[in-house]
Chains A and B, each alone.
Chain A
Amino acid sequence: MSGILPQLLFSGLAIGCIYGLVGLGFIQVYNAVGLTNFAQGEFVMLGAYLFVSAVVIWKAPFWVGFLFLLVGMAVIGFLFTRGVYKPTYKAGRFAFLLASVGLSMALQDLVVLIWGPVPLYMPRLVSESSFNIGNVFINPQHIIIIGSTILLLIIQYLIFQKTPLGKMMRATAQDQFAATLSGIKVPLMIIFTFVNSSILAGIAGFLVGPVFSVTPSMGASAMLKGFVGCTIGGWGSIPGAVLGGILVGIIEIFSSFYISSAYKDAIVFLVLILFLLFKPKGIFGETVSEKV
């Protein structure tokens, strides 16, 4: 039994990284425009499908497939800003939210129409056989997930803290009006934010694809868990979103081992309700500036 604990922690960490990436995309959009994008989960799924269709269907090499994913997600993010965000953000409080709900449902079906309802198999970078470190069985894909997440977080940190573009995006997130006064092209920065968050979601899909199969509904539950992660971390906090996501992953793995794997999504929901009841600001919520 002693070997099982680190085993569960490790798997939970890997799955949690995916939710963290989804949550990160959520938070960036939320900080920039104060809205939640309910199609974020479907962006995860689209990323996986783009990669699979490039590598498996068109037999492109791995790196071409990945490039295709990046470009495709950037285009999707751009189209989403122009086609959904721009026409709806002024039309009342729920117009954008409802439009993204509609889009997410349409995308789930569109994927079925294009790629068919059968789950697709995503090729792996590494061998499928797991190896042991001490008592712990390690799935190589989990190492890839954790490694890529760390790498992505470093890249995100560098972009947002060191580059002029990142600084302009942060300025837009803090105060759009003041950013406009400083000569920042706010609409462009909003496009960049959406593009960035949809690329993050796409990469999350690419990473999680080999663990679960690639299905039209793979994004829906990832989105709910990314949201729960953001709530646990505290809305507005970027480290909070990532750590919250990881926590959700660990909770999920533990509850499916100790309680029941069938009920794991219901347990995650229970965690959400408990957090909202007792700690609605989340773990890192105190430092967050309130957006009115």
Chain B
Amino acid sequence: MKKVSKIIIMLLLAIIILSVPHLIKSDYTLHVVNLAGIYAICVMGLVFLLGFAGQLSLGHSALMSIGAYTTGLLAVELNLPFVITFPAAIVVSMLFALLIGIPTLKLKSFYLAMATRGLNIALFIVLINWKRFTHGADGIVNIPRPSFAGFTIQTERAWFYFIVAILIVCYIASRNIEKSRIGRSFKAVKEGELAAEVMGIDVYRTKILAFVLSSALAGTAGCLFAHLNQFICPNDFNITQSVTLLSMSIFGGSEYLLGGVVGAYVLTFLPEALRFLQTYARFINGILILLIMILAPSGLFGVVSSLFEKLKRQKKLDPPNNSPNIADVEGMEN
């Protein structure tokens, strides 16, 4: 019975997803949907890091920029096909995560936060100033569309299916990792490093693994971003962008992969809907983070799931509430 309902839900979801690009008429809106999908991939990486392993990165857009610039430079300067630049982008961003993770993850958690913010600032400076290599503030233009066996992903509609496919693959992979031994060791490290160490988990390695996996997702997102927009510049990946990614992950609930996805879509569309408030965008974003942390630190999914649990508990509590009456009646009879 449960399996049947699951299949029905999956089918409904598939129909909804497949019909989205047919319902949305304007190319621009579809482009925003696609961007949100790319951010969702990156935010899942943040969920990995923050929600599962309990490590904070304030510079995830820097890791995205590494993916984007790797694929952009390889594709434009060396004319390499997407099949090669895509894995290269992921590998290089994982290497950068190793570079930052090895010195900082042995230490207390705020070191990673500050080091990733530092990476964000430093990389931005390098991207702007190292003109011969990165093209400076002008950015990289004319990044080719990816093509496989003669078929090029050109239209926004094609991009929609492409991104959703990658998003689903990333989600399933992440979900499997979450449920595996690795995912459990992430959560053990988050709950308490000493306790995890006692249980035989190599805390340092586990944290590095979480950061590197997270960076792989950021690199994937960065690579897709470069090929979707066909243009990247250092400003696409500044500190504000990193904080926006963070607020996406905590809005949905940093412990839930799907929460991150929902957060990415909502917070990409919110500024579009509130365009008249555009001058206040950063202000609103900052206040939003502040309010979430004060009012509901577990995010949207956290609030909803705790509500469900409360309902469940109430249902379970109901019979015992009635039983005293029965006991009273029985007592009277005696």
Contact = CB atoms under 8 A, between A and B. Distances in A.
A105 B286 CA distance: 5
A272 B286 contact: no
A144 interface: no
B17 interface: no
Interface in A76-105: 84, 87-88, 91-99, 101-105
A94 to B, nearest CB: 5
Interface in B286-306: 286-290, 293-294, 297
B126 interface: yes
Contacts of B102: 277
A69 to B, nearest CB: 23
B23 to A, nearest CB: 34
A282 to B, nearest CB: 11
A276 B287 contact: no
Contact of A106 (B113, B123, B286, B293): B286
Contacts of A231: 111
A84 to B, nearest CB: 7
Interface in B106-120: 106-111, 113-115, 117-119
Interface residues of A, number: 44
B294 A99 contact: yes
A95 B297 contact: yes
Interface size class on chain B is 35 or more
Interface string A172-196: 0000000000000000000000000
Contacts of A220: 121, 239
Contact of B56 (A98, A99, A263, A272): A98
Contacts of A228: 118
Contact of A99 (B99, B282, B289): B289
A280 interface: yes
B283 A221 contact: no
Contacts of A94: 50, 54, 56, 109
Contacts of A113: 279-280, 283
Most chain A CB atoms below 10 A, which of B58, B288, B297: B297
A101 B114 contact: no
A67 B13 CA distance: 62
Given A88-B293, A105-B240, A266 B286 contact: no
A263 B129 contact: yes
Nearest to A266: B122
Interface string B247-273: 100100000000000000000000000
Contact of B243 (A36, A88, A96, A102): A102
Closest 9 CB pairs of A and B: A102-B289, A106-B286, A105-B286, A109-B283, A269-B122, A99-B293, A266-B122, A276-B103, A102-B290
Interface of A: 36, 38, 84, 87-88, 91-99, 101-110, 113, 220-221, 224, 227-228, 231, 235, 260, 262-263, 265-266, 269-270, 272-273, 276-277, 280
16 contacts: A36-B113, A84-B294, A91-B297, A94-B50, A94-B56, A102-B287, A102-B293, A106-B287, A109-B282, A109-B283, A110-B283, A220-B121, A231-B111, A263-B129, A266-B123, A272-B115
